[in-house]
Structure formats: C-alpha cells, structure tokens
Structure 1
Amino acid sequence: MAIVTEHSIPKEAKFLLDQYVNELQKIISKEKLIGVYLYGSLALDAFHPETSDIDFVTVMTEQVSEAEKVKIRELHKRLYTHDLGKRMDGMYIPLGDVGKQNHEMSPYLYCSDGKVNEGYWDINSVTWWMIKNCGITILGQKADELPYVVTWDDVVSTMEYNVEQYWSEKVKRPYLFLSTEWVEFAVVTMGRIIYTLEMERIVSKDEGLQYMMKCFKEWEPLLQDVYRVRQKEGMKPSLSRWKRAKMTKQYLLFGIEECKKKCRK
C-alpha cells in the first residue's frame, strides 16, 4: 500500500511519517489496515516544526492484536529518537468505532507525546469533523470516504461542553496561570474556540490568536505576551507573573460568556 497523500507536508514531518507508515505496514497487514489520517495543525496548514504535534488516527478492520501492540510500542520507541517523534499524538481505532465518542468505545491503543498507552484519548466530534472535512490521507482509503457522519452541530456541542465543563473548572484554579505554559494554552485555546464558532469552521490556534488580537483590544497586553511566547521572541513580558495570571482568569471568564452567546445563535 503506497502513501497516497496529495497534500504538501513539511519535510521534517514527512520524513518521520514516511518512516512510520513504512514500518507500520510491516506490523499490520494490508488486509487489516484501512488507512492513516492526519488532523490538527498539519491538516490546517498551521504546523510549526519546533512546537506542533503530529496528530494522527490509524484505522484498521479490527482492534490491534496483542502481538501487534508489542510491535507498535517498539515502533514508537524508535520514532521517539526523533524530535518530532516525541510529539506524535494518535489513536489506533477499529473501523466499527470510527465516528464514535469515547464513552461508546472499548479502550484502544493511543500514542501521547510519542509514548504508547491503552485507554481513551483525543476522540470527540471535533476530531472526527476535522478528519472527515480537512483530514490528510497518508495511506489507504480517503478520509472523506470513511463510513461515518458528523455534523457542525456535533462540533458546537463538543465545544460548548468543553467550555462549560473543562474551562469553567480551570478558572476555579487560578494558580495554574502562574505557569507560562498554562497561560499560553488557555489563551490560544479559548481564542481558537471563539473564532471557530464565529467562522463555523475549525481554525488553527494561530488564527484564533490573531482574531482575538484584532477584535478584542481590551486584552491586548495578555495577547501580546502570549504572541511573543509563541513566536519565541525572547522579549521580557509586559505583565508581571501575578497580573498575567489574574488577567488570564478574567480572559477565560470573558471567553466562556462569548462562547455561550455564539452557541445560542
């Protein structure tokens, strides 16, 4: 089975993916392997070789066997020697479970930060919508031909749940935002959700941040600090650590209300 993608993939990622696919085909037979698909920053043409993850889903006719699990773990250990291999996040999903949510599925093999585990990972309507609508087919059956249906309403429901559950809980723990990593994650993720709901398409983190910088000037000091962090400009932050943490909490509370308004439209 040959690599079939017609998309342009950065050479750093393509080198690793070529190695992954070539070795994967030695582990899973062509009769069992349905395809390998990319979503996330690569699918959105927003990949940064220094920071972005390689998000993938490998689909098979059935669950991987115990013998295949051993070999897949060994494969990812070898890939882990590459910098990008440490940022591989993906799942091994049987064809009968494509399009489903975690609570509807049996535990599956997944790779997080280049390390293989078994359980549940990044499966939701956003994942499936991206694969179906903008996913990159690396190998096998085309992504948009996979046998499942996901609607934009499903995506909105997932984002609404994410905002009202996950982020509403995080604002109750403001000490998290004393960490630069948490500040960046919170600011770009909330901006991405707001802009995605506005545009009715999945946008990248960079797009979401640019949108917030353009349209919400009241948050400019925080957004500029996060922008500099993402660009690795090395400039001294304009906000103190404590003021930045406080502003991040306020920003999230603002973002939660913005998302609620957009979800009600």
Structure 2
Amino acid sequence: MSLPEQVREVTDTYLRLVDAAVPDLVQGLYLHGSTALGDFSPGHSDIDFVALTSHRPDEAEIGALAAVHEELDRLHPRPYFDGAYLLPADLAADPDRCPDIPGCHETRFEPSGRIMVSLVTWHELAEHGVAVRGPAIAELGVWTDEGALLANTRNNLRTYWKRWVDKLDELAEKEPDRAVDPWFVEWCVLGSVRLHALLVTGRLHSKGGAGRWAVRTGAFGPRWVPILTEALRIRSNDDGPPTYGDLRHRLRDTRDFLATVVAANET
C-alpha cells in the first residue's frame, strides 16, 4: 500500500538513524494499527511499528536505540512512533511466551518491557501489516488465535473500559473544564466501539472504521448516532460546527455511550 506522506517521512528518518546507530540490527520494519488499516489521521493517529532484529540487542545497542528514538522525537515530535523490537521467532509464537523486549511508547523508550506485546499486535500484523523493510508478512508465520483474541477483547471491555465510565464521572465532577476536552470523546467512543465491532464482525477495525460501521449499520440505534458522529468529526479534523452545542451534554453522552458498549458485552 502507499503510505501517507507523514508516515513515510518518519519511517525513512527512523531507518536512516537506526542503520547508522546499530548497523544490520533492524532486518525488518512492519507497520500495523491505523496506518495498516487505511485510517491514518494526522494529529490523531500514532505510527505503530514492529522492528524485527537479527538478535536480542545487547546493553550498548539498547542505549543506541534509546538515542535513536530521542533524535527521532526531536525531528518528528508527532506522530508518535510506537513499537517494539522483536525476533521473528517471537511473532511465530503466542505473545504470552515473548520475553520482555525493548520498545517505545510516545516519548518514552523502555529498555525492557511489554510495549506492543499483545494478541492485537500479532493479529493486526498477520491480517493487515505493511512491510516497509523485510520479507512479506505472509512469510513471517505470525501466530494468531481468534478465540483468545475475542476473549481478551471482552475482558478489556469489562475491565479497562468499564473503569473509564467511572473516570468520566469523576472528571465531570472534579475537573469539568478538562472533561469537555474533545480527546475524551474520540478516545472513549471510538476506542470502545472498535472492540465491539471486532466481537460482532470477527474482523479488526480502526477507530474511524468502527465508528463508521456503527453509524452505517445502526449497531446501537439512532439514540447514539450523534455522539458517534461527533467522535468521527473530531478524529477527521473537521473544523465544522460540533454536533453538540452543549459540551457537558456531549460529555454525558460520551460516558453513557461507553457504559452502553460495556453493558452490551458483559454477558
């Protein structure tokens, strides 16, 4: 696929920097997330990557990688370049068996951790991954387990996203000016509905794709079309008038829609 210009600029810069800092270490570079799903949105999307290395980086190489990401962040502060350094054998097995590995999330580089080590990453790569460098995705033999992916998705809604319902209540009470930030609308509405869409359709969706699916199919009925439309407007950088004249009403609908998505997947 043809990469968005901003994505191409960042990946080209990254490969130039990493090849100079640790020659021959990064043998493959693969993109997943919104870029691979054809829904990259400037100002909203990050660039999610997996770098396949020839070996586990040693201490000196990890230090060099940290410097690479620091320089990349200086040259391209946004979008964030988030990802992990894996071996091909890691992708060929259950991610639960993967050891802690170097990775970067937003501006934080972790010498050893679990950034991007998840079933979602493995499935996105296997089904939609984009090869910037290295063998075609089909040649990597990426391990997948649809049953485990769906079970983990339900659990994510029942735990992580259920906690966000309470967080929005707390924000509305204690920090009402912050709570009307449009970020919360996009994050909660589209972040939760993409999981629901996976459970209903059996297919991975981007945030924007899931929101459009929910509107198109009437998945939650007409009651929730305004908040879905507003979340999509925010994500698309549409400067037109908001769907809601009252931002506190928008916050209440964000909270109530999220609670509806969670409740729909509790049984």
**Which interval holds the TM-score relative to the shorter structure?**
0.7 to 0.9
Q: 2:12, 2:123 → 1: CA distance?
A: 25
RMSD: 2.3
Aligned partners of 1:16 and 1:85 also within 8 Å: no
3-state DSSP of counterpart to 2:28? strand
- Is 1:73 the counterpart of 2:66? The answer is yes
Distance 2:142 2:208 in 1: 29
Shift of 1:171: 1.5
Which residue is 1:37 aligned to?
Answer: 30
In structure 2, distance between residues paired with 1:222 and 1:48 = 19
Q: Distance in 1 between matches of 2:226 and 2:37?
A: 27
- Deviation string for 1:156-210 (max 9, x for gaps)? 1221121111112221222346243122101011221122222221111111111
1:2-56 Cα shifts (integer Å, max 9, x gaps): xxxxx211122112212212332334443x5441111001111111233211100
CA gap 1:236/1:33 in 2 versus in 1, 3 angstroms:
closer
**Count of residues paired in the alignment:** 253
Residue 175 (structure 1) aligned with residue 180 (structure 2) = no
Matched, 1:26 2:28: no
CA contact 1:191–1:205 (8 Å) conserved in 2: yes
Does the 8 Å contact 1:76/1:85 carry over to 2?
no
Per-residue deviation at 1:113? 1.3
Aligned partners of 1:28 and 1:133: how far apart in 2?
A: 30
CA shift in 2, pair 1:181/1:85, >3 Å: closer
Equivalent-residue separation in structure 2 for 1:27 and 1:206 (angstroms): 36
In the other structure, the counterpart of 2:56 is: 63
Would the aligned equivalents of 1:61 and 1:94 in 2 still touch at CA under 8 Å? Answer: yes
Distance 2:231 2:129 in 1: 28
Q: C-alpha distance in 1, partners of 2:15/2:76? A: 17
Is the Cα–Cα contact under 8 Å of residues 125 and 142 in structure 2 kept in the other structure?
no
Which runs of 5 or more structure 1 residues have no equivalent in the other structure?
Answer: 1-6
User: Pairwise mapping of residues 153-168 of structure 1 onto structure 2 (< 5 A)?
Assistant: 153-168=147-162
- Aligned identity (percent) is 23
Residue identity matched to 1:89:
D
Structure 2 gaps of 5+ residues are 173-178
- Could you tell me how far apart the structure 2 residues matched to 1:85 and 1:248 are? 26
Counterpart in the other structure of 1:240: 246
| Distance in structure 1 (CA, Å) of the matches to 2:193 and 2:199 | 10
Other-structure match for 1:4: none
In the TM superposition, what is the alpha-carbon distance from 1:121 to its structure 2 partner? 1.6
In structure 1, what residue type is equivalent to 2:206?
A: S
On the 8 A contact 2:94/2:144 being kept in 1, the answer is no
SS of aligned partner of 1:171: helix
Structure 1 segments of 4 or more deviating over 3 A?
26-30, 82-86, 103-106
